[in-house]
Chain A
């Protein structure tokens, strides 16, 4: 299973973290510090796997961002690499050629997408289209709720005038 997902920028700033195994706050920041040290310092042509505390961390760099997933020793590293790519492609479709800034200002959207892709550290959907459709449906639910709320406040405002 995937124990956690990390997105780290080249400067070592955290852009997204998702923990599927229990880690305390302290452990979390320690893990992030350790791993960003290891991963950011690796030369570009090396393999995308790092062995770390009995687990393996699969990472891949897209532009200025490192996508990292920590998996069990016995898991399929190549598949996780493909999973990372899958996630990036979905982000790309959603934001329209995604960049780091999209993920900074719309970090919650990135989390929503990840939640449609992984639960309990396991993959839940292999179709990019389905994920996009589910996210769009939920976004539109939020939009309608907002519109209703604003029209409601308009009515109240008019009534109390």
Chain B
């Protein structure tokens, strides 16, 4: 026999591992043991397989890899004896999970064991199946499990019931097979079977409405009777917990009744009496009793309305809330959260207690309570609630502040009755926890401030005061710097003084001090510094006396390592020193920011889009926005147009070109572009007539919008002049006809073709047609053109679509693509959109081909499909 495999006993191995002083030592012992086990596995040693498996499980628990033992589990399971099977199944459940391929190999053994004459072996197999079975296994073994639901021994029936739960969770289609056997379990007296049967029915109801209807109709009365018998049952030692007979069964029955009563008045009606009895009679001095009450309250809240019962339930929660046990208070808060929708008034009564819970020592309770407060806020109580929360913010834990700040900001933004209150509260939050405030929040604050013209002076003075005490809060600094830049003169001259304010004296140089501190602070990040720089430029015009000093500060940034700051500093410096005449107009106050657009954008668009859209307008408020910004805006706006531009977002003009052309002009246009490659706008303006309407749409919608459009103006005027000599006619047509000329062609849906994908080497264009009478289906003709000088062979195009689409690919016209556009491959795709009219098409593609025998792969996503496909 192998000297290793005689090895140690399990007990000795555990001792040896426990005796290890260091992790390295432990690794050594484990390595040695694993080597011995591997050797023993290789020898196919029978005698120690059992023991080796036990050792492996222990090693596994310590976190070491044990995959080499997986096959041993299968061998143990396949062996005839009970002890081997027992440890084998345990190993299977411990070392494997449902995603491992090895598991499929065990299906056959499981099937045999499910039919075994020894009921304990059947039990082992059921347990393993219930804990780790995959969908395939569930399908294969469901008939066996279904049969075992009627097995003579109750202990097998209960295991089979739980196993069925796993099966229907994995394969919901199988649910209907289990309805009848499951309902017959509900008539059992054995508690184990009853508990598992009720649980199985609950899960069945959740997966299949058919089951729900059936059980509701056939079993509701029986279940009510079972619960009544249980609640009234005399003391039975076997099931007694703290004076209550089988609280687990209580809870499961209540849970199933909840599912049955939800949305059904008759069923709800039949359970009213017993619910009232449970709610009033259950002892509430132990965990078990409270667990039942908690479940009962949930059921009362979920089933169809019965005023009296709800009052009872809310009273129970009120009692819970004043309990000294933290667990009970936690579940009360949890439950009140769900009760709010049913009876907000009743929950409001406990507001004071809930507010106390926000200040609890326990993080779990604090979190629950805060969420509850958040839903309890309304116009009438917002002021006192926010005051409490803001007061608490000062003393709260650091790790709780982020949550708390977010919630306060959101409450304040949602319910603020007046602007001055909003500004006050936000300033308090910013000065207490400004570092936790998200970007959107202070953007929003600036928008509000900019809109409240009568409060400009008040705000800038309040910020100035707050800055003196809380200069370490980044977002407070940003807002202060912005406001001083804009309204610095109001700060110094005490303009717009409100009655409630204390007068303060601030000199011009004090105001500049603030900005200088902000810009020179090491902790300030790029945004803050950039904002401070802009503020300085503005102040240089507003405070002529400090102009020189400001110039000096700006000059210091001419050598800054950050390119953005360096460039601005140089530009601003030249504005101050050389362009005195335009400076004052250049740095005029920002026009009032459009509140509605800001809110609309924030609500309507994706978070990503919102940040790109808002960032330029707020963080660089001097009108010197980077040229990219209006283009981004343009993109953003034109997404409302019938033609969605490509998601690439890189070269907008390219998109404009690519999106709107008809097949004919597409080719000529694209050809031109690739030849000249200089002025793509020329192409835009030489578009053939059928597509005018589209491109005109984009232009007109942009020009009519308030958003800055100067780049576009520039571009169009530029191209006008460049084109006017050769081709003035069409250009004038195009631009002159913006408002008046109707679309030239409008008979039925005609979709422009799109360049779906283009790389340096390949272009893919799509042409769309629809069969009349079948709007859901679009026939797409894909045309591939080779842009490189090599011939592509073995050309394969693949496409994938999300679930709401169906894709059918016809064979391609060939698999060789000649070089430099000397021919093309076409392929027809049929896409059926099940969400027609709601969602537009989207597709992910992969193109594989060989260049001189070398594999090449290109991938991309196409989302520039015309809408309404």
Contacts and interface: CB of A to CB of B under 8 A. Distances in A.
Contacts of B367: 51
Contacts of A20: 131
B611 to A, nearest CB: 26
A108 B330 contact: no
B195 A120 contact: no
A129 interface: yes
B63 interface: yes
Contact of A120 (B130, B192, B249, B326): B130
Interface in B30-47: none
A83 interface: yes
A123 interface: yes
Nearest to B162: A119
A86 B87 CA distance: 24
8 contacts: A25-B65, A77-B334, A78-B291, A119-B159, A123-B196, A124-B196, A138-B82, A145-B82
A82 B327 contact: no
B175 to A, nearest CB: 15
B97 A23 contact: yes
A11 B99 CA distance: 32
Given A115-B127, A137-B120, A49 B364 contact: yes
A142 B82 contact: yes
A98 interface: no
A25 to B, nearest CB: 8
B163 A107 contact: no
A119 B238 contact: no
A130 B326 contact: no
B191 A14 contact: no
A29 B63 contact: yes
A16 B62 CA distance: 10
Interface in A70-125: 76-79, 81-83, 85-86, 104-105, 107-108, 111-112, 115, 119-120, 122-125
Interface in B49-108: 54, 57-58, 61-63, 65, 81-83, 86-87, 90, 93-94, 97-99
Contact of B291 (A45, A76, A138): A76
Given A24-B99, A79-B251, A115-B127, A145 B81 contact: yes
A96 to B, nearest CB: 18
Size range of the chain A interface in the assembly:
35 or more
Interface centre among A17, A47, A134, A145 (most CB of B within 10 A): A47
Contacts of B165: 120, 122
A62 interface: no
Given A78-B290, A82-B241, A104-B18, A122 B196 contact: yes
A133 to B, nearest CB: 9
A48 B288 contact: no
Contact of B239 (A29, A46, A105, A126): A126
A48 B327 CA distance: 6
Contacts of A78: 287, 290-291, 294, 327-328, 331
Nearest to A128: B238
A141 to B, nearest CB: 5
Of all A-B residue pairs in the complex, the 8 with the closest CB atoms, nearest first, are A78-B291, A47-B326, A119-B162, A119-B130, A120-B166, A120-B130, A46-B362, A126-B248
Interface residues of B, number: 68
B247 interface: yes
A54 interface: no
A161 B690 CA distance: 104
Contacts of A86: 241, 248
A52 to B, nearest CB: 10
Contacts of A115: 90, 93, 127, 131
Contact of A112 (B86, B294, B295): B86
Given A82-B287, A125-B192, A141-B82, 15 more contacts: A18-B131, A43-B361, A46-B326, A51-B367, A78-B327, A82-B247, A85-B287, A111-B90, A119-B127, A119-B163, A120-B166, A124-B196, A126-B248, A127-B192, A138-B86
A77 B192 contact: no
Nearest to B290: A78
A29 B251 CA distance: 33
Contacts of A49: 327, 330, 364
B120 A24 contact: no
B199 interface: yes
Contacts of B362: 46-47
A53 to B, nearest CB: 14
A14 B86 contact: no
A68 to B, nearest CB: 14
A17 to B, nearest CB: 7
Contacts of A48: 326-327
Interface string B161-176: 0110110000000000
Given A23-B97, A123-B195, A142-B86, A47 B365 contact: yes
B158 interface: yes
A50 interface: yes
B298 to A, nearest CB: 8
Interface centre among B54, B241, B365, B367 (most CB of A within 10 A): B241
A122 B62 contact: no
Nearest to B65: A25
Contacts of B131: 18, 20, 115, 119-120
B329 interface: yes
B29 interface: no
Contacts of A111: 90, 94
Contacts of B62: 14
Interface in B163-202: 163, 165-166, 191-192, 195-196, 199
A145 B87 CA distance: 14
Contacts of A108: 54, 57, 87, 90
Contacts of B195: 123-126
Interface in B232-278: 238-239, 241, 246-249, 251, 255
A125 B57 contact: no
B11 interface: yes
Interface centre among B130, B163, B295 (most CB of A within 10 A): B130
Nearest to B367: A51
B126 interface: yes
Interface centre among A14, A45, A46 (most CB of B within 10 A): A46
Interface string B118-160: 0010010011001100000000000000000000000100110
Given A47-B365, A125-B192, A138-B86, A76 B295 contact: yes
B14 interface: yes
A152 to B, nearest CB: 12
A104 B14 CA distance: 8
Contacts of A134: 123, 155
B162 A76 contact: no
A138 B127 CA distance: 14
A16 B334 CA distance: 30
B637 to A, nearest CB: 37
A85 to B, nearest CB: 8
Contacts of A146: 83
A120 B163 contact: yes
B329 A47 contact: yes
Nearest to B164: A120
A71 to B, nearest CB: 12
B214 to A, nearest CB: 21
Contacts of A129: 238
Interface in A122-161: 122-130, 134, 137-138, 141-142, 145-146
Interface string B825-850: 00000000000000000000000000
A47 B323 CA distance: 12
Contacts of B11: 105
B371 to A, nearest CB: 10
Contacts of A81: 287, 291, 327
A45 B324 CA distance: 11
A137 to B, nearest CB: 7
A21 to B, nearest CB: 9
B127 A83 contact: no
A10 B638 CA distance: 60
A83 B248 CA distance: 8
